[in-house]
Amino acid sequence: MARRGPRGGGAVKRERILRAAIRIFSQKGYFNSKVSEIARPAGVADGTIYLYFKNKDDLLISLFEEKMGEVVADVRARVADGGGALPRLRIFIRNHMDLLTREAGLIEVIQVELRQSNKFMKEYVPVKFLEYLDVISGILEDGKREGVFRSDLNVTLARRAIFGALDEISLAYVLSRKRKYDPAAAAEEVYRIFAEGLAPHATKKGEDE
């Protein structure tokens, strides 16, 4: 399963490097993290990192793809046996908020650096991130078919709205030291907003009122 670099014991070392990178990147940001600062807690020499990753950029991308890949596979499995679109949306949202506890560093890196990465890695397409969004799309499409979401719903837009809401709430949670709210309760509230906000039967509101 090991992607690049030496195999066998090397896979362990590679994993240690990725874990250290997540920690350091999440603490200081990609550009302020030095390769040597990642090597030290990973327990390897600076040069060793270049046996497993092409360069610093590649370390970030590998981190995105591999760790995000695990997250995608995991959420897919959880959502798979969820029943209808609404319970699956709830599972998705709960899972995302739950990641804050399980994978705080990873979430933070993705939130902050994935945005940056567009700027300096023009050619990079964040495949796994798009797959994560696709999980939402899948749920939304099913919900339209089931009739629990509006039939004219713009799925592309809605999935961005859902992800954006979750992401921003996560960011605020991660950045604030105080942990103002409970992730599980927040998940429920976000679910409610979108479950109702996307529902078909609501009467139109707004300036007509």
Partner DNA sequence: TATGAATGAGACTTCATTCAT
Partner DNA sequence: GATGAATGAAGTCTCATTCAT
- Cα 158 to Cα 164: distance, rounded to the nearest angstrom: 10
DSSP assignment letter at 202: P
- The window from 1-9, 11-19, 98-106, 174-182 that contacts a second copy (CB under 8 A) reads 174-182
- Cα 195 to Cα 191: distance, rounded to the nearest angstrom: 6
Q: Is 197 in the site for a second copy (CB under 8 A)?
A: yes
SS3 55: coil
- The window from 8-16, 37-45, 54-62, 183-191 that contacts a second copy (CB under 8 A) reads 183-191
| Number of C-beta neighbours around residue 47 at 10 A | 9
C-alpha dist (Å) from residue 142 to 32, 73, 136, 180, 188: 43, 19, 10, 34, 21
- Cα 21 to Cα 4: distance, rounded to the nearest angstrom: 16
Among 112, 127, 131, 141, which residue sits at the site for a second copy (rule: CB under 8 A)? 112
- Cα 161 to Cα 185: distance, rounded to the nearest angstrom: 19
Report the partner that residue 29 touches, choosing among DNA, a second copy, none (CB closer than 5 to 8 A by kind): a second copy
Binders in 23-82 for DNA, by CB under 7 A? 32-36, 43-48, 50-52, 55-57
Binding site for DNA (CB under 7 A): 3-7, 9-10, 13, 32-36, 43-48, 50-52, 55-57
Binding site for a second copy (CB under 8 A): 27-29, 31-32, 84, 86-87, 90, 111-112, 115-116, 118-120, 148, 154, 156-158, 160-169, 171-172, 175, 180-181, 186, 189-199, 202, 204-207, 209
